[in-house]
Amino acid sequence: MTLFSLSLKNIRKSMKDYAIYFFTLILGVAIFYVFNAIGSQTAMMNISSSKSEMMELMNSVLSGVSVLVALILGFLIIYASRFLIKRRNKEFGIYLTLGMSKRKISMILFFETFFIGIISLGVGLLLGFGLSQLMSLLVANMFEANMTRFKFTFSMNACIKTLIYFGIMYLLVMIFNTVSVNKCKLIDLLYANRKGEVVHLKNALLCTIIFIISSCALGYSYYMVSGGVKTMDTSSKLSVPIAIGAVSTFFIFWSLSGLILKICKSRKRSYYRGLNSFTQRQISSKINTTVFSMTIICLMLFVTICSLATSLTLKNSMTKKIKESAPVDIELTKQCNINKDKSYSSKVIDDSSKSIIYTLKNSGFNIDKNFKDVVEFNTYKAKNLTIKNTLGSTINSAKKEFQFLEEDTAEQIMKVSDYNRIAKLYNLETVSVSNDQYAVVTSFDPWTKIRNNALKNKPSIIINNMSYNPSYNKCKKGYVHLESDSSNIGIFVVPDDAVDESMKDERVMIANYNASDKKGKQSIENIVNKFKKDNYKINTLTTFDSKIQISDESVGKGALITFIAIYLGVIFLISSAAILALKELSESTDNKERFNVLRKIGTDERMLNHALFKQIGVFFMAPLLLAVIHAVFGIKFALSLFSTFDAKQLAPSIIMAAVVLAAIYGGYFLITYFCSKNIIRDDA
């Protein structure tokens, strides 16, 4: 019972000195619960079936990501416990001196960890419950859901998962604490606070050389992600600049740890002013002994900044893309000229020669009632008109950029009259070709560059033994099929008489729904979806793509990426800030005697607090500044990698990311400063 009471007393004392530890645990529990409770919150939302499927996928993925988050938080808790034990070395030494066994000290730590876990889980779950209600509003906004059925809901599934994961973490902490105490020696415990960090002065010339080499290597990795690595060829090359950047970051911190004190000492007037010599030696010592930690924290902050800055703009960018790439409500396609094959029935083969309008009417679908602005047309292919033939001598550069390019793929061909009808309906620029000319239309920027490069040579193409020359020296922006990613790599628009019936590849029909509002369009969408499930599909190869369907899928993908990025970004941010904060609190405990010595020689509290503020400020800012520089090029790479991102909408997201960063990272900095100031007080 005495050990139990002693444990409770220690917890009460720890509440004040180690607020950051409790705050981190509570925040970790809350965030873990919030993201695992999304599934329960989405059950209240009135959404379409396709969005519901995306939500189920999102919940499954977030559940998997939670395993990674649990590992990160588990490492953070063990890391924090290590510093908490170090803080109490002298206390444990006194216990041993008074005759307490190591087993009893382990029992004290067991009770403390148990009660800290209970408190953290209780408060964290309560906070998570409140935040999850706000999260449900964010999810509803992301999925454009109807929240008329909204009510406050406690997710028992998320609660149980949180209790299991964090229970395992605390069990590991208890084992870690027991092992740590059993390994301690009495002499080390009693005099641990008097052991100072020895500052090993590194060779200044070597540090300078390594700093220059690391900076150049880092610059080269920046070049690779901003220009050297091509948009669609990053799978094998992207690991190179990442590895170079990570190694360069480590050596930059390593070299700076040896140069900072040397540079400061060379400026004698500044070095010996006030407490600068003390402060600068402390800063150099901290960076010198935490090079690896600073590197990891810098990289975690880099991931946090990039994920928050890019994910917050993803949904808006994708929504804007949908409006551009899906200007009509529905598209139906059907394969033409199907060869007689055992895999197709005679009815399917017969239907392939019929128009889509005929197929719909023959299946009982009322086109006049449900559709308007109906346009039906054909696309064609020619045996000798392949990507290899149309790109000519530029094919090699295209294959370097697109390593999986199939050069024998037939190009898509359209009649000029058909394309111009589509262009007018889509509000695109029409094209003009004479009897011996062709034009190329694209909507995918990387392929537009490739096509334009090929058109510089004014290549001629052969269709049905007739030669055609380009009517424009550049591609026209355009597309035909409804697209969620603007991926038209090229359509060859030719005179109407350049093609014949034998070259037909697909029949395409586009139309708008015969409704004026969103509700009416959704009603027709439901009719179409019901019609698609009927037996008519047995006798036709017609496929359906609708704006609502594409929009729902895009919204779902955007939400999935956004929530994963926010989830990991916030966890990385909390982990980075907490590790720095706990390290600083431990350092402040070790430095208490040094600050007391400064007081004895007449240093006032204002100067001591200013020196402490500068130490902590530099320690927090060093990894953040380099992470921000990394993030500038990381965000630039994201913009080039994903055509979905809209640079114009990036500014508000960057501001929002900066606010989140300032609130959490800055909050940890301020709490660390005030807690450290409390630790070094003469009466503390």
Instruction: Assess whether 358 and 494 both reside in one domain.
Output: yes
| Cα separation, 555 vs 667, whole angstroms | 33
Q: What is the pLDDT of residues 330-374, one digit of tens each?
A: 888 888 877 655 567 777 777 777 888 888 888 888 888 889 888
The answer on 509 and 428 residing in a single domain is yes
Considering the domain boundaries, does residue 276 fall inside one?
yes
144 and 222 together in one domain: no
Q: In this predicted model, which residue has the larger pLDDT, 89 or 568? A: 568
Q: Is residue 663 a part of any domain in this protein? A: no
Phi/psi-derived region of residue 302, left when phi > 0, alpha when psi is between -120 and 50, beta in every other case: alpha
362 and 247 in one domain? no
Nearest to 276 by CA among 611, 616, 593, 595: 611
In a domain? residue 638: no
- CA distance readout (Å), 115 to 83, 375, 458: 18, 70, 78
User: How is residue 121 written in tokens?
Assistant: 């889980």
Tens of pLDDT, residue by residue over 421-446, are 988 888 888 999 999 899 999 988 78
Per-residue model confidence (pLDDT) at position 233? 47
Average pLDDT, the chain: 77
Q: pLDDT class for 502, splitting at 50, 70, 90? A: confident
399 and 262 fall within a common domain? no
Do 341 and 241 lie in one domain? The reply is no
How many structural domains is the chain composed of?
3
The CA distances from residue 396 to 101, 226, 454, in Å, are 75, 22, 11
Residue with tokens 């402390």: 282
Q: How many Å apart are CA 52 and CA 67, to the nearest integer? A: 23
Structural domain span for residue 107: 1-195
Q: Which residues pair with 477 in a beta bridge?
A: 442
- On whether both 218 and 359 belong to a single domain, the answer is no
| Pair (2, 148) in one structural domain | yes
- In the chain, the amino acid numbered 440 is V
| Residue 419: per-residue pLDDT | 92
Pair type for strands 466-470 and 543-546: unpaired
Query: Looking at residue 410, what DSSP letter applies?
Result: B
User: Is 119 contained in some domain?
Assistant: yes
**Residue 513 near residue 525, CB atoms below 8 Å:** yes
Residue 519 belongs to some domain of the structure: yes
Residue 3 lies in a domain: yes
**Could you tell me if 225 and 633 are in contact, meaning their C-beta atoms sit under 8 angstroms apart?**
yes
What pLDDT shows up at residue 441? 93
Q: For the chain, give the percent of residues with pLDDT over 90.
A: 5
Q: Note the pLDDT tens digit of each residue in 366-418.
A: 888 889 888 899 999 887 888 888 888 888 888 777 767 788 888 899 999 99
454 or 73: which leads in pLDDT: 454
d(CA 257, CA 287): 6
The position carrying tokens 């015969």 is 514
Cβ-based burial of 401 (10 A; exposed 0-12, middle 13-18, buried ≥19): middle
Q: Which residues in 484-496 are b (16+ Cβ under 10 Å) and which e?
A: bbbebbbbbbbbe
For 142, how many CA atoms within 13 A lie in the half-sphere containing its CB?
Answer: 29
- Do residues 622 and 287 lie in contact, with contact meaning Cβ atoms separated by under 8 Å? yes
Q: Is 431 left (phi over 0), alpha (psi -120 to 50) or beta?
A: beta
392 in any annotated domain: yes
* 550 and 51 Cβ atoms separated by less than 8 Å: no
50 with 189, same domain?
A: yes
- Tell me what pLDDT residue 223 has: 83
Question: Could you tell me if 3 and 101 are in contact, meaning their C-beta atoms sit under 8 angstroms apart?
Answer: no
What's the CA gap between 302 and 634, in Å, rounded?
Answer: 8
- pLDDT of 680 reads 75
Q: Are residues 522 and 414 part of one domain?
A: yes
If you write DSSP's letter for every residue of 568-620 in order, what string do you get? HHHHHHHHHHHHHHHHHHHHHHHTHHHHHHHHHTT--HHHHHHHHHHHHHHHH
8 Å CB contact between 253 and 297: no
User: Which amino acid is residue 503, in one-letter code?
Assistant: M
Q: Token pair of 658, please?
A: 């900066």
Residue 577's closest CA among 675, 678, 672?
672
pLDDT of the residue at 262: 67
Residue count of the chain, please give it.
684
Q: How high is the pLDDT of residue 18?
A: 63
Confidence (pTM) = 0.71
**DSSP string for residues in 178-232:** HHHHHH--HHHHHTGGG-PPP--PPPHHHHHHHHHHHHHHHHHHHHIIIIIS-TT
pLDDT at 232: 42
Q: Are residues 5 and 63 in the same domain?
A: yes
> Residue 591, exposed/middle/buried by CB under 10 A (0-12, 13-18, 19+)?
buried
Nearest Cα neighbor of 595 from 620, 615, 580 is: 615
Q: What are phi and psi of 461, to 5 degrees?
A: -120, 155
Q: Which is more confidently placed, 328 or 271? A: 328
**DSSP reduced 3-state for 439:** strand
Please name the amino acid found at residue 278: F
Enter the DSSP assignment of 280: H
Q: Quick one: DSSP state of residue 493?
A: E
Decide which of 514, 549, 584 is a domain's last residue. Answer: 549
Give me the mean pLDDT over the 188-209 stretch: 61
* Domain limit, last residue, from 195, 220, 248: 195
Question: How much of the chain exceeds pLDDT 70, in percent?
Answer: 73
Residue ending a domain, among 195, 217, 251, is 195
What gap in Å lies between CA 440 and CA 57, rounded to an integer? 38
> Do residues 132 and 268 both lie within one domain?
no
Q: Could you read off the pLDDT of 292-304 as tens digits, one per residue?
A: 888 888 888 998 8
Output the six-digit token pair for 618.
């530099």
Give every CB contact of residue 517 below 8 A, 6+ residues apart in sequence: none
Query: In the chain, helix, strand, coil percent, each to 5?
Result: 70, 10, 20
Mean pLDDT of 523-543: 75
29-86 confidence digits (pLDDT tens): 888 888 888 766 655 555 556 666 666 777 777 777 788 787 777 777 777 777 667 6
Cβ atoms of residues 660 and 308 within 8 Å: yes
Phi, psi of 283 (to 5 degrees): -65, -45
Domain assignment present for residue 400? The answer is yes
Distance from the Cα of residue 511 to its chain's centroid: 36
